[in-house]
Structure 1
Amino acid sequence: MPNLVRIAPGALTIGKPLPWTVYDADGNVLLRQGYVIHNDTQLEQLFERGRFKPRKIERPQDDVPEDTALGNPFAEYPALLQTLESTITAITQRDETALKQVLGLSRIIDQMCQQSTEASLALVHLYSIEPTIHEQILFYGILCQFTARRFGLDDKRTAVLISAALTANLALVPVADKLNASNRVLNDDQRAVIRKHPERSIQALRDADITSPLWLKIIAQHHEQADGSGYPRGLSGTDIRGEAEILALAERYVAMITRRAYRERMNVVEARKLITSLADGKFRPAIPRALLTVLTEYPPGTLVRLANNEVAVIVRRPHRHRGPFAKAIIDPRGNRYRAPVERDCSLLDFNVRGVEQPEVMPSMDFGLLWGFRQA
């Protein structure tokens, strides 16, 4: 059968029906459209052997992200996730607009981080309790933007890094949420999927005519480590691109502060200590320092207990020799304030006493804490 192409990582999902009939390389039917993939082994076999006949997908121009003035990151959050999902789909289905969509989303994230700096960082910390794979990928892009800027990367390299952060885990999208929800030790098939995901993500990008050498190199190297213990090539030291290390550190930090079925999440204080330790051999020291400088001791979005026993959300990092700024949402007796109350944490009464680690974030419009009007 003519025009059969290899199945791209991210195109199939366990537990969901096949969107098209799958063939082998000779055109013989392996699985019919609508068949539900049941396990990692089937998924692995389809990636190895499967082919499909692509159909041209007509997308309205409105689906392609364009530059826009972003206001409230919390109001934009659902649209960002939807755009990310459609962008990943465009890549896996070899849509001719795939490159434009990735670059457009990368620009949007960069603009958002520059225009609403504190609130953009807060997204990562307020929504990181148990995020989906698409939320995690969005967090990687945000953290890479901030770390790249602090590290001194120019606009062009920062843009490529954000694009790489959005696409480095294409091959894990079909299985990541299931893996995160499992409390069992990874089996051999799952480990193989994880270790192969950089090369499979790269192949999916190449198949979609995304071929930037720096972009692909970042993805290829983002699981290498400075001490030579990483994969797939065991690179070390300056053989690893700084951009790849920034992405790797962003992924690690998100993993630290995220809850998994098999472990509890760290609070930001614990995560900072671990990042500090990674500067000794696992990463070139300047990169962990850059991320730690961005985060500060209590990043925006962190819930804290103040000296007066209020619970507050950090809304601004230390500025000009003053401590972090917070807004109290729960009074000393445990009752919700009707409206957030401003607190300067450099004052003795409002010093941060410790980090709160709730199982579920309080239900509220977080945008109000940063002065955004209610939608």
Structure 2
Amino acid sequence: MNNLVRIAPGALELGRPLPWNVYDANGNVLLRQGYVIQTDTQLEQLFERGRFKPRKIERPQDEVVEDTRQRNPFADYPDLLHSLEATLEAITDHDPSAQKRLTGLTRMIMRTCAEAPDASLALVHLYSIGPTVLEQVLFHAILSQFIARQFGLEDNRISVLTAAALTANLALVPVADQLNASNKLLTDDQRGVIRRHPTRAIQALKTAGIDNKLMLRIIAQHHEQADGSGYPEGLSGTEIRPEAEILALSERYVAMITKRAYRNRLTVTEARRLVATLADGKYRPAIPKALLQVLGEFPPGVLVRLDNNEVGVVTGRPVRARGPFVKAIIGPRGNRYSGTFERDASVLEFNIRGVEEPEIMPSMDFSRIWGFSA
């Protein structure tokens, strides 16, 4: 591989799964996606020796050949983030390819979630420790389309909602990572940027030739609240489209389970408990209920401890009175298994005792655990 480049300082972090494979200068895999860097020494060695495969930003072709490969959300993760970045840049730059890029990315996300739903939901939880703003936007889109389907929206509305989720925070992208990393109170200027971001996103989309009325309305309303306390118009009740509430709840859930400089992240158990309270005045009651149904008690990607004292990662939600399904990765005595063992948590011995929140997440080969070919 002669197209590998050095890893820039700051691209990788301690305690966070690698977003892509890391290679040496000769193209040999040093570490696979999902490996968690444990020490500063490891991090320094990766910056010194490690390489990664960069993505080229290419203009979409007029004739698009349908990609019929099996969708693997983990292998696709870098491409999805790359495509998202290119799409938002195209919108900001008023590039004629913006509409085509957004349509293609929306289709890819919807197809990925349809073909590999549990693995797609796992992405949200495996990378929720300290996601970049682009990762958060991708998570909003993934969750929005799952909630919308559970809520009962038809495919064309789900598609428009997914596109809205990908672009609603366009105006915040340049500053969001900085805001999340700050433990200081927001300034008046920063609060103004936040309150104006739906309007600024709509202006950028219109200038780029993207003018779907439903999509723009979803973006305009996604910070309104059913009790009238939202912004920018102070709408209430049924004045707010359900798609806007779904996007708002997706953003809120991701914020709950994400670590910020100014607060700790909630466990999934705590976040689910809080979501259950949101049906009282802030959202249509069916929307928080839809999110809880999508997640289940133990969502894919969450680490759990079983009654036999093993620790594993939830890989699948319950199906016909079986599950949740767990791949055990750590034995009862704390020893790391060389492989993984599938456990059906509906079996008494493998009942889930509770969610695990280790100081540092264990390394995992995500594609292998979820059964995708290399």
TM value normalised by structure 2: 0.82
Query: SS of 1:174's equivalent?
Result: helix
Specify the code of the residue in structure 2 equivalent to 1:358: P
Return the offset for 1:318: 1.0
Specify the code of the residue in structure 1 equivalent to 2:314: I
Query: SS of 1:140's equivalent?
Result: helix
2:178 equivalent in structure 1: 178
Return the offset for 1:63: 11
Structure 1 segment 182-261 matched on structure 2, within 5 A: 182-261=182-261
Specify the code of the residue in structure 2 equivalent to 1:335: N
The yes-or-no answer on 1:167 pairing with 2:179 is no
1:101 equivalent in structure 2: 101
1:26 equivalent in structure 2: none
What CA distance in whole angstroms lies between the structure 2 residues aligned with 1:67 and 1:128? 31
Q: What are the superposed Cα offsets for residues 77-110 of structure 1, whole Å, 9 maximum, x if unpaired?
A: 0111001000000000000010110011000000
Q: Alpha carbons of 1:97 and 1:186: their partners in 2 closer, same or farther (altered >3 Å)?
A: same
Deviates more, 1:355-364 or 1:155-164: 355-364
Q: Alpha carbons of 1:189 and 1:151: their partners in 2 closer, same or farther (altered >3 Å)?
A: same
2:67 equivalent in structure 1: 68
* Bigger radius of gyration: 1
Return the offset for 1:305: 0.8
What RMSD in Å do the two structures reach over aligned CA positions? Answer: 1.6
Specify the code of the residue in structure 2 equivalent to 1:310: E
Runs of 4+ in 1 over 6 A off after TM superposition: 63-66
The yes-or-no answer on 1:133 pairing with 2:133 is yes
Specify the code of the residue in structure 1 equivalent to 2:141: G
Specify the code of the residue in structure 2 equivalent to 1:370: W
Q: Alpha carbons of 1:199 and 1:66: their partners in 2 closer, same or farther (altered >3 Å)?
A: farther
What CA distance in whole angstroms lies between the structure 1 residues aligned with 2:309 and 2:59? 53
Return the offset for 1:206: 0.7
* Count, aligned residues: 317
Return the offset for 1:65: 8.0
1:335 equivalent in structure 2: 335
What CA distance in whole angstroms lies between the structure 2 residues aligned with 1:207 and 1:66? 28
Structure 1 segment 307-346 matched on structure 2, within 5 A: 307-346=307-346
Specify the code of the residue in structure 1 equivalent to 2:280: D
What CA distance in whole angstroms lies between the structure 1 residues aligned with 2:125 and 2:86? 24
Return the offset for 1:360: 3.5
Specify the code of the residue in structure 2 equivalent to 1:122: A
2:372 equivalent in structure 1: 372
1:358 equivalent in structure 2: 358
Q: Is the 8 A contact 2:321 2:346 kept in 1?
A: no
1:43 equivalent in structure 2: none
Q: Alpha carbons of 1:66 and 1:81: their partners in 2 closer, same or farther (altered >3 Å)?
A: farther
What CA distance in whole angstroms lies between the structure 2 residues aligned with 1:271 and 1:341? 28
Specify the code of the residue in structure 2 equivalent to 1:71: R
Q: Is the 8 A contact 1:309 1:331 kept in 2?
A: yes
TM value normalised by structure 1: 0.82
1:292 equivalent in structure 2: 292
Query: SS of 2:305's equivalent?
Result: strand
Q: What are the superposed Cα offsets for residues 32-77 of structure 1, whole Å, 9 maximum, x if unpaired?
A: xxxxxxxxxxxxxxxxxxxxxxxxxx95436998742342110110
What CA distance in whole angstroms lies between the structure 2 residues aligned with 1:186 and 1:194? 10
